[in-house]
Structure 1
Amino acid sequence: MSEVKNYKEALQHPIFNTIIQASENLQLDSYVIGGFVRDHILQRGTAKDIDIVTVGSGIALAKEVSKLLPHRPKVQIFKTYGTAMLKADDIEIEFVGARKESYSEDSRNPIVENGTLTDDQNRRDFTINALALHLSTKNKGDILDPFNGLEDLQSKIIRTPLNPDITYSDDPLRMMRAIRFATQLNFKIESTSLKAIIDNKDRIKIITKERIVDELHKILLSKKPSIGFKLLEQTGLLAYILPEITALKGIDEVEGQKHKDNFYHSLEVVDNIANNTDNLWLRWAALLHDIGKAPTKRFSKKVGWTFHGHEFVGSKMVFKLFKRLKMPLNDKMKFVQKMVLMSSRPIVIASEVTDSAVRRLVFDAGDYIEQLMTLCEADITTKNPKRFKKYHNNFKIVRQKMIEVEERDHIRNFQPPVTGEEIMTTFNIRPSREIGIIKEAIKEAILEGEIPNEHEAAYEYMIRKGEELGLKNN
């Protein structure tokens, strides 16, 4: 008989003693299960959410726990799922009665029946999430590990407790979760389980876009997102979810001329940017920055492979992608569009850094200039050390020039030094197209460095431009 391992140190928070007391008051067997146990063993930091399973009513247990706590926290009840939730200090605790589940072919929502702890562990997605710790005075912290989850944690393996074909077919979101955990934990998906994902990939179509996007966000926010996207591509899931990305895969060759594989390049860019920012939407921009290259790819005998206008096409594709995945069509989407549209601008000006080009870059990027530069620096994926150093040095020059131009010309939050009202008063005219022409001419003159961004210079320029348009200065 194997030795029983005890993880009493995981249950030091006072809330566990309260749950034990409440369970014994109601004569229920209760356990902490899932992610809290897994992350404690992996030493992944202090969990902010805890799952409690009890052989009986989870709702009754939650209410009893609330009674025993001095501040009597509110219990949120979800009768449909037989679950309840409360907050104690900064920890969110979910209570559920042990249950067994069965599924129909066209839905991931199970038919639920009361069950034993064994039934509840059987329904868990992965062995590492089926680990449970006793919550009782006598056996506090003893671990229940029916599927060798501890061994899989040590071996860094993602494996389903039961037949993976059934596990993934029943709830296809688990395929995304397997890949997400493999990415976050840097684990490998066990070979039988990986094959089952490939075999069941088309089942992902019954999952709501919102749930899929939630998993994509977690993959993108991981330390090395490329692990997840390579697995999504390998299993065939990516073609269902983000066909714009899989379209970038492969290298074409004509007359001995090749282009780089833009799929793997995009993943490198995402990994690079993940080293510098936790901004989810900037990571999305890194993933999507080249999606316009697939539809714009052309071969010319004179210049080889071209992708003319891929940034503009890509920014339009961002809108369609967000809409299809039911992602927010708001400022976040517009930010990603802007980053994709401008993703090549700093690269283009880096070879010849002129004041006017930098002024226009800062003007067009506005408050997002730092994020744009971070994206462009992440876009350097050359393996040639000399080129790598040269490109980064060029971006340093661009950054320095940005500082100089901004200090002198205040372009970032540009406000016209001459207002429309002032133009109307000066020339005694009503609202008309001439006002727009003059304001645009002043802006262009400032960006080109013809005049400084100051009222006096802009006013004089306004007078000259007005006279050219046949307007008379009062």
Structure 2
Amino acid sequence: MSNALGAAGELAIRSLIERAPLASSLAQSFKAKGFTLALVGGPVRDALLGRLGNDLDFTTNALPQETKKILNEWAENVWDTGIAFGTVAGKRGETTVEVTTYRTEHYDVDSRKPSVEYGKDINGDLSRRDFTVNSMALELTTDKPEFIDPFNGLKDLAEKTLRTPGLPNDSFNDDPLRMMRAARFASQLDFEIEPAVLASIKELAHRISIISAERVRDEFTKILMSNNPRKGITLLVDTGLADLVLPEIPKLRLEVDEHHHHKDVYEHSITVLEQAIEHEDRLGGPNLVIRLAALLHDIGKPKTRAFIEGGGVSFHHHEVVGARLAKKRLSELRFDGDTVEAVELLTTLHLRFHGYGDGEWTDSAVRRYVRDAGDLLTHLHVLTRADCTTRNKTKAARLASVYDSLEARIEVLMEQEELSKIRPDLDGEQVMQLLKLKPSRDVGAAMDFLMELRLEQGQIGEEKATEALLNWWKDRSAK
């Protein structure tokens, strides 16, 4: 180790003092017990980039049980769920720390779970990490903080390059999830992947199959929620990883003829995603549901593609097929039920606006649009607007204008009828009293009739609703 701190170390220290003052306090606690402590990995990288957060990773020569004793004195809360792998975590104030004993790892070829051996020095610990930009450390228990960079991570950070500390095949064979992490860092940090690393990912993409769905989901989500999801998604597709973890996306690269006259559905979907992101302020900021829906809304097209005689292509009912595919894929990736249902519904509804021509919306159609979207109405507004990717400025302006008028209609009816709370004019108890029924399918059918009446005619009041219900029941009973 060099005793010279250097400009990089000074920058990292300055960022650490400003953004994570508790790190020095923790280091003193370890030093007092005769142990080393170094900030390591992503937090060092982020400190150098000026984006350090409140989650800090450290490495130490203290064994896990000794680390736990120190954290029990220093932290307000401590948890040791990772102690079998050498990691103990704690939280003090707004700062969360994970402290891991120096270690080396050995992986079984068919498992991502390593067998852990504790190491003797920090260089061995840094050699096992995923990328050189995450293989830097800041030793905090020496007389002066010491910047440690055995694999030239600082140079790669400056050049915005992702490279592995050792041979990329060894790294990805050990932990195939690192291949998706490469795509994630490319998206989050706008980095390029070194050609040898990229070639290794293409060669070993099949290894991703040993990774759990939950871990794949988490990395994919981080890519999707980054500032530049196009970059990471394209890397997943180009390397073959997407064929295994999200096969519906590469299938969107449809070619209808050698002249590529038909719109590239993949490119369209990425553009819709980017345009949806531009409107996310309507949803309060970055939103996972709208990003998933934007990316997946057309995944039903490959299964529904039909060529039209004389040229052209159709995708009838692709929204229905796409909704089913989205539900299946997101469920397999272990997304939570609410997210799956929301994306399924938005995919089903994403063409609804285009079914009404140039603004010929009846009040009934507006009510149904609002009723069917439910709590996802604003999401549907964002998705529908983002789904216009035409380069024809006149057509784009016309579609935007028509949708402006639809939103205005919704606002007017919202004020007049409280559309977000659409209910029949009679409730279930009233229906059972009027028709002398007990809870049954007949009551459900009656409520469906009243809801249709409400959607078609708006609020008509209990008297007219009762009259209509009795006439409906009389006709139904006569059949």
- Out of 442, 452, 471, the residue aligned to residue 444 of structure 1 is 452
Which residue, 387, 394, 398 being the options, matches 1:386?
394
Conserved? CA contact 2:269–2:296, under 8 Å:
yes
Q: Which of 132, 140, 147 is the equivalent residue of 1:127?
A: 132
SS in 1 for 2:391: coil
1:211 counterpart residue number: 215
Q: Which residue of 1 aligns with 2:148?
A: 144
Please give the alpha-carbon distance, in whole angstroms, between the structure 2 residues aligned to 1:302 and 1:441.
Answer: 45
In the TM superposition, 1:3-152 aligns within 5 A as 4-5=6-7, 6-7=9-10, 8-12=13-17, 13-44=20-51, 46-67=52-73, 69=74, 73-76=77-80, 78-115=82-119, 116-140=121-145, 142-152=146-156
- Which one has the bigger helix percentage? 2
Matched, 1:411 2:419: yes
Structure 2 match to 1:345: 352
Match of 1:271 in 2: 274
**Is residue 290 of structure 1 aligned with residue 293 of structure 2?**
no
Structure 2 CA distance for aligned equivalents of residues 101 and 396 of structure 1: 58
User: 1:217 deviation in Å?
Assistant: 0.7
Which residue matches 2:364? 356
User: Residues 75 and 232 of structure 1: is their aligned pair in 2 closer, same or farther, counting only changes over 3 Å?
Assistant: closer
Q: Distance in 2 between matches of 1:94 and 1:432?
A: 57
Secondary structure in 2 matching 1:425? helix
What is the DSSP-based 3-state SS (H/G/I as helix, E as strand, rest coil) of the residue aligned with 1:56? Answer: coil
Ranges in structure 1 where 5+ consecutive residues have no aligned partner: none
Gaps of 5+ in 2: 281-285
Q: How many Å separate the matches in 2 of 1:257 and 1:18? A: 62
Identical-residue share of aligned pairs (%): 34
Counterparts of 2:476 and 2:115, CA distance in 1: 76
Kindly indicate whether the alpha-carbon contact (under 8 Å) linking 2:112 and 2:176 is maintained by their aligned counterparts in 1.
Answer: yes
* Number of aligned positions between the proteins: 464
Q: Give the 4+ runs in structure 1 shifted more than 6 A.
A: none
Q: Are the structure 2 counterparts of residues 99 and 398 from structure 1 closer, same or farther at C-alpha, using a change threshold of 3 Å?
A: same
Q: Does 1:304 align with 2:346?
A: no
**1:438 positional shift:** 4.3
Following the alignment from structure 2 to structure 1, what is the Cα–Cα distance between the partners of residues 59 and 435?
Answer: 78
> 1:267-306: per-residue Cα shift (whole Å, max 9, x none)?
1111222233322122111111111111010012268311
Q: Are positions 1:461 and 2:468 aligned together?
A: yes
Q: Which residue of 150, 173, 176 corresponds with 2:177?
A: 173
Q: What one-letter code is carried by the residue in structure 2 that aligns with 1:32?
A: L
Secondary structure of 1:179 counterpart? helix
Structure 2 distance, partners of 1:257, 1:448, is: 44
Secondary structure at the counterpart of residue 95 of structure 1 = strand
- Contact 2:78–2:88, Cα closer than 8 Å, also in 1: no
Q: Distance in 2 between matches of 1:429 and 1:128?
A: 71
The Cα shift of 1:469 comes to 4.0
* Partner Cα distance (1:281, 1:31) in 2: 38
Kept after mapping to 2: 8 A contact 1:107/1:206? yes
Distance in 2, matches of 1:264 and 1:347, equals 21
TM-score (norm 2): 0.90
Residue of structure 2 aligned with 1:374, choices 360, 378, 382: 382
Bigger mean CA deviation after superposition, 47-56 or 401-410: 401-410
In 2, the alpha carbon distance for the partners of 1:316 and 1:274 equals 24
Distance 1:82 1:343, change over 3 A: same
